[in-house]
Structures are given as structure tokens and as C-alpha cells.
A and B are shown apart, each in its own frame.
Chain A
Amino acid sequence: MTELRGFYTLWLREVKRYLRDRTRIVSSFVQPLLWLVIFGVGIGASLRGGVQIPGITYQHLIFPGIVGQTLLFTSMFMGISVIWDKEFGFMKEILVAPISRFSIFLGKMVGDSTDALIQGIIVLVLGLALGVNIDPVTFLASLPVMLLITFGLVSIGLTIASFMGSLESFGAIQSFINLPLFFLSGALFQLQLLPDWMQTVSRANPLTYGIDALRSILLGGAWQPFQVQPLFVDIAVVGVFDLAMIAIGTWAFTRMK
């Protein structure tokens, strides 16, 4: 019971801090908007014959990819909260509390994932404004999948941050991971059209399955023939990845002093 309340209070803290940070919320619109409008329209126009999926424009194709990108970038960025907490001393207050490191990690992780999910929802709404067809059922169905994607990614961010001593080093490591994961996730391409080596690498990227799952939900039947894997396989892969990352993150928090 104590563990559960500890988890809850740490979750609540992350969400409260996020919701009070207006600039972070407002600025979260900008990047996805640029990708969708400028990159989406620009590349779409240069693909003369359009994409090879009937009924789907390039902008629509990358829309789930940009949702995935937002989840990736914000989730990884959340690790910064660990560095702040170390820097400003608050981490000590948490670490000496009589609750397990597993609860501490989980509270922070689920809290940060909730924040990343809110960012993802903002992009969904943005898509709606850009003419992507999202009905209420699709909207609701995409939420748990988005949350599932964030768990593993936030765990990576928190794990890295627990080893890092400064904001600068965290930023440097982060950019090493973010872009490869993003470019090799099929977020901007249709996986089947890529050369073999790139397909192989992309298939080893857990985010590929997350974005594939989002496409299956958001693009509906039109995406069916082009799926990397069926929806349930995507979800299983992401779930297993999450569990592994949570285990590693808990270990990382256990050794933190």
C-alpha cells in the first residue's frame, strides 16, 4: 500500500510539473507542424506519381510517423527530469524514502509517459486540423498504443540520465540515439520499398513496430496490405521491449546514490 501511494505521488508530481510548464506545451506544436506541413507537403509534391498506397497521401502516410516521432523525442527528453532532480537535490529526498527503487522508477516513468502521451494527443489534434480522418473510436484506440510506445522510450531516457552527471552530456547522448531511431523506424517511408540492409536494421528497431501499429489504427484498411506485422504482433513486440527497458531502468535506479 505504501509502495502504491509512493508510486502515485511521484506520478502526480511529474504530471503537475509538466502541466505547469506552459512553454513546453506550446512549443510542442511547432516541430510536428513543420514536419507535417512543410516536409509532408514538399516531399509529397515531389513524388510525382504519389505514394504507392491507394487513397493515402504522403502527408497522411507520415502522420502516424510524426506522432511516433513526437513520442520518441519527448519520451527521451523526459530523462532530463532525473538530471534536474539530481542537480537541485530533490533526488535525495526520493532516494532516502522508505519505498523500493522499483516504485520510484515506475512512478517517474509512468508520470513522464503520461506527459509524453499528452504531447502525442496534441499532435493527433493537429492532424485532425490538417484533414486526417480520425473518428472517436480510432482516437481512443490509439491512446493505449501510444502509451505503450512511451513506456520503453521513457525508460531508455531515464536509464541514460541516471548515469549522466550533467545536462550537456545527456543532450549529447540523446541526439546520438534519437535520430537513428527515428530515421530507421519507417516513420517517413514505406518499409517494403527500402533496400535490404535498411529494412533489416529498421526491423530491429522497436519503434518501427510502434509506428506500424499506429498506422494500422490511424490509416485503417488502406494500410492493411502494407503492414510490417499484424497489429497484435506489433503490440506484442512493443510490450516485450517495454518490459525489458523497465527491468533495465529499475536496475539503473537501484544503483543510483
Chain B
Amino acid sequence: MPNIIETFKLTRSFNSLTAVDQLDIAVEAGEVFALLGPNGAGKTTTISMLCTILKPTSGTAKVNGFDIVKEATQVRKSIGIVFQDPSVDDRLTGRENLYMHANLYGVPPGDQKNRIDRILKLVELEDRADDILRTYSGGMRRRLELARGLIHYPKVLFLDEPTLGLDPQTREHIWAYVRELKETHDITVMLTTHYMDEADKLSDRIAIMDYGKIIALDTSAKLKDTLEGDVIVVKAADLDAVSALVAEKMGLKQSRIVDDMLEITVRQGRSVLPRVVETATANGVFIESISLREPNLEDVFLHYTGRMIRADSGREPHGIAAIQRRKIR
């Protein structure tokens, strides 16, 4: 498969801060590629450069064979974008928003009606298409934005935090649409997210990004394999005591406290788990419950950075915060 996105030492600085630092990535045509990282890792800055919204400080990239600096208009014709913040006209109807987009992107007038009807069906908005957008829920607007990004048949679709602030059910829906798109359209998807499950369920390959650099890049399964182990989750009144105990008596040094639970990364968890209980009991430390799970991407991130990714709750901002978020950057 040829590479549809390639970056060459792509760099962007804001004053003294290097948001994206000499990035070299290649995305194959037809794959769903996720940039995963905490807020401020440089994901949106990367996408903004690939979409020609921001100019790189140094380095460059090619999207669909076009240089993002020298051939910006060609790049723009090749891509669809779903921005992190809302970007629809809420005084127009859903259909009017789509027609406007079709005209801005030079979709032949003869094709417009047909394409718009079909895409509305895909995102299940055909019944509400002629309502003013103000009456739409957040999830419906998101679906409309997704639909809009596809009207001009882009080669690459960029999704910047596509399900930020949406409820779990709507998120599942959006994921289903994206997967369906990949099946039905000849399209490459690049998305940014700080949700582990989103990257895990949606993407073929994941690039973990932190401080402007890629720190790991592979399929979800292989990333988890690099941890070579399982995670034992312990619930106890004195987690520090358990942590100290397993480190001292059993040599299990990879443990940390997450959400009032102690997570211990071990090899062959099935056989280690009973020993943990024995050791705790023998030393008079009471364990309330204990379980075993496979490593997830959170563990991968922790492994590479020594930090947790969950910097914020990702809840929908309200009131002033919502308006602030919508501001153009």
C-alpha cells in the first residue's frame, strides 16, 4: 500500500514551546490511523498542519501526494475535516449546511442532491435534514459534521477528537459510522483522541504522542504485547502497604495506584495472583478483592511515559466554557 500521508521532520513551535517536534510518520492508504495522547501532546497541531490551517515552522508533509506548504489548495481538495470544536452554521438547516459545503468544495451541481441524500441516510439524519441546526443535539451535530466532511469524496478524512463530550451511546454510533465509511468508501482516516477505547476500537494503527513526539507506533495488539504481562488489580484499605509488601517480598516493582486500586504489572498473572494473596495474608495485610486483566492502552502509555493519560474527564463543557471552546484558534 502506498503512503497517503507522509511527514518529513514536521515541526511547529509557538514561541519557546515546541508543540510538534520533528515528526516522521507515514500513513498507508485505506487505514484508520490514530494519534493518541494527553491534551497538549501536539495532536491537534499536527492535524492542523496536515490540513494546511497552520504552517510548519520547519519540515513539511505530503497529503495525497501534495505538499502541505506549496500545494495547499490541492491538499484542501483532497481532505475532509471534522474539527474538534463545532463548526456548523446553526441558523441553517442540516441540508443547507451540506449544500453550502458542496458548493465550497466544487461538487458538481448535478451530483449534489444525490450525494447529500445518500450521506444523510448514512448518518441517519434524513428525517431531521430540513430542521434548523439549533434544534439538533450535540451528537446529531457531530454526525452532520461527519457527513459534511465526506460530501466532496475526500481521500483523507481528519477527525479531531471526534467523540469529545458525547455520551457513550452516541460515541458507539460515531465509531460505527467511521468503520462503515472505511468499508464503503475508499478513504483513509486520521484521528486524534485522548480516549484509549476510541483508539483501540477504531484504528488499525496507533501512534502514541507525548510532548510533540511519537513515543510508540504500532497496532493496538502489538503495543499491548510490548508490556509482556498482565495486570493484577487489588482493592485494599492500605494500598501502600500492599505495594511495599509485593515489592519487598515478591520483587514486583511495577505497581501504581489508579482510582483507589493498586495495579501491578506482572508476567504470568494467573500463577502470581494467588501468591500475592498468600503474601498479604501472611503479613497481616487485608485484601478486599483481587482480579486479573489484560493490559490496555492506558498501561502502554504509562509504560512509555511514566504518567497516566487521563488528564481530564472529557465531559461536555457548558455555558461560557462551551463558547470559549468554540473560539477559532
- Which residues does A use to contact B, with CB under 8 Å? 1-2, 5-6, 8-10, 12-13, 16-17, 20-21, 86-99, 257
Contacts and interface: CB of A to CB of B under 8 A. Distances in A.
B49 interface: no
A93 B101 contact: yes
Nearest to B152: A98
B105 A87 contact: no
Interface in B21-74: 51-53, 73
Contacts of B87: 88-90, 92-93
A16 B92 contact: yes
Query: Closest 9 interchain pairs by CB?
Result: A9-B103, A2-B106, A97-B104, A89-B87, A98-B76, A5-B103, A93-B87, A86-B328, A98-B77
Interface stretch (B78-86, B247-255, B281-289): B78-86
B73 A98 contact: yes
Q: Chain B interface residue count: which class?
A: 20 to 34
A94 B104 contact: yes
Contacts of B106: 1-2, 5-6, 98-99
A2 B106 CA distance: 5
A9 B53 contact: no
Given A6-B103, A6-B104, A87-B323, A92 B91 contact: no
A91 B132 CA distance: 19
B53 A257 contact: yes
A158 to B, nearest CB: 16
> Which of A6, A10, A93 neighbours the largest number of chain B CB atoms within 10 Å of its CB?
A93
Contact of B83 (A5, A20, A86, A92): A92
B222 interface: no
Contacts of A93: 83, 87-88, 101, 104, 148
Contacts of B88: 89-90, 93
B89 A97 contact: no
Contacts of A90: 87-89
Given A21-B91, A93-B88, A99-B106, 8 more contacts: A8-B103, A16-B91, A17-B89, A87-B327, A89-B88, A90-B89, A96-B52, A96-B76
A10 B105 CA distance: 12
A97 to B, nearest CB: 4
Nearest to A166: B327
> Which of B51, B104, B148 neighbours the largest number of chain A CB atoms within 10 Å of its CB?
B104
A83 to B, nearest CB: 10
B88 to A, nearest CB: 7
Contact of B86 (A88, A97, A98, A257): A88
Contacts of A98: 73, 76-77, 104-106
A120 B51 CA distance: 41
Given A92-B53, A96-B81, A97-B105, A13 B100 contact: yes
A17 B14 CA distance: 37
Contacts of B85: 89
16 contacts: A1-B106, A5-B103, A5-B109, A10-B100, A13-B100, A16-B91, A86-B328, A87-B323, A87-B328, A90-B89, A92-B328, A93-B83, A93-B88, A96-B51, A98-B77, A99-B104
Contacts of B204: none
B99 interface: yes
